[in-house]
């Protein structure tokens, strides 16, 4: 077992970290800013790397409430996919200005993690979306139930479970004959393996029970269909970010 200091996925050499951030900047990589275990997250991009001040500059959100909550969090997690490798680090945000517009700034990380993953970028599903997952299981009140998707990648999905229908299921449980329902697209039949349960603190101060699943024995054509929907959400987020929608 590795300790934090021996983390094999961690980069701590300044030149290596600088090279990774430079590539994320030049590639306009989409990043997710969130407060772990809280319902606060946005999609952003790197705008600049200020070597003199030792800070990176990031897009903020159009929603001032989200901006306020991110700015007042003790630490914010940044995640992005670079060459199919997850880049992750944390730090506090401060208000900044870039090209005359409000922005965020964050200290250059002294350490960051790089994890090779089969999953693609995990995208948060907008609350207004009708995307959902229909789960079939004998333990459910009517043997099936429809759950709102909270986030999605090509490797798995996290579901909102306000009534805790899934909370009694053991980790590792396989649920067959489930169905992903995407807006304006054909449903995708899948099998799910339960990874974990967790509590998400919502903006209203109440907790929401969630369950995270990994896709199990997913055929390639169905993974493509899922990734197409993830990509469509990424494009929409990028279009909003750069004002081209």
What domains does the chain contain, in order, with CATH numbers? 4-116 (2.30.110.10), 123-241 (2.40.10.220)
Nearest-angstrom CA–CA distance, 19 and 6: 22
Contacts of 244 (CB under 8 A, 6+ apart): none
Question: What would the two tokens of residue 57 be?
Answer: 């500059």
Nearest-angstrom CA–CA distance, 151 and 160: 10
Contacts of 232 (CB under 8 A, 6+ apart): none
Q: Which of 39, 9, 75 is nearest to 158 (CA)?
A: 39
Nearest-angstrom CA–CA distance, 176 and 192: 6
Mean pLDDT of 102-113: 94
Structure confidence at residue 3 (pLDDT): 39
Give the other-Cβ count within 10 Å of 13's Cβ: 9
Give CA torsion, residues 61, 98, 77, 245, to 10 deg.
40
Q: Report helix, strand or coil for 181.
A: strand
**Strands in 35-127 per DSSP E:** 41-50, 55-59, 76-82, 85-91, 94-98, 101-107, 112-116, 123-124
Angle at 9 between CA 8 and CA 13, to 5 degrees: 90
DSSP 38: B
Nearest-angstrom CA–CA distance, 10 and 153: 23
Dihedrals phi, psi of 169, to nearest 5 degrees: -75, 140
Q: What is the pLDDT of residues 194-223, one digit of tens each?
A: 988 888 877 777 888 999 999 988 887 787
pLDDT band at 244 (very low <50, low <70, confident <90, very high): very low
Q: What is the pLDDT of residues 124-174, one digit of tens each?
A: 887 888 899 999 888 787 888 999 999 888 788 999 999 888 888 888 888
Q: What is the pLDDT of residues 64-89, one digit of tens each?
A: 888 999 999 999 999 888 887 889 99
Q: Report helix, strand or coil for 19.
A: helix
């Amino acid at each position: 077992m590795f300790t934090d200091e021996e983390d094999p996925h961690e980069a701590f050499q300044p030149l290596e970290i600088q090279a990774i951030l430079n590539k994320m900047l030049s590639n306009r990589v989409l990043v997710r800013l969130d407060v772990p275990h809280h319902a606060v997250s946005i999609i952003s991009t790197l705008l600049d790397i200020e070597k003199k001040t030792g800070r990176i500059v990031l897009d903020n959100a159009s929603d001032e409430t989200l901006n306020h909550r991110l700015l007042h969090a003790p630490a914010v997690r940044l995640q992005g996919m670079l060459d199919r490798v997850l880049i992750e680090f944390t730090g506090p945000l401060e208000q900044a200005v870039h090209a005359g517009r409000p922005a965020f700034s964050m200290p250059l990380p002294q350490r960051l993690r790089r994890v090779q993953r089969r999953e693609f970028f995990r995208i948060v599903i907008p609350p207004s979306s009708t995307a959902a997952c229909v789960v079939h299981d004998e333990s459910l009140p009517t043997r099936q139930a429809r759950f709102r998707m909270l986030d999605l990648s090509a490797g798995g999905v996290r579901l909102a479970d306000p009534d805790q229908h899934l909370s009694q299921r053991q980790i590792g449980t396989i649920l067959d004959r489930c169905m992903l329902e995407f807006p304006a697209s054909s449903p995708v039949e899948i099998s799910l393996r339960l990874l974990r349960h967790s509590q998400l603190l919502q903006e209203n101060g109440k907790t929401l029970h969630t369950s995270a699943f990994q896709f199990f024995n997913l055929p390639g054509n169905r993974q493509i269909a899922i990734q197409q929907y993830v990509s469509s959400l990424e494009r929409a987020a990028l279009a909003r970010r750069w004002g081209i929608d």
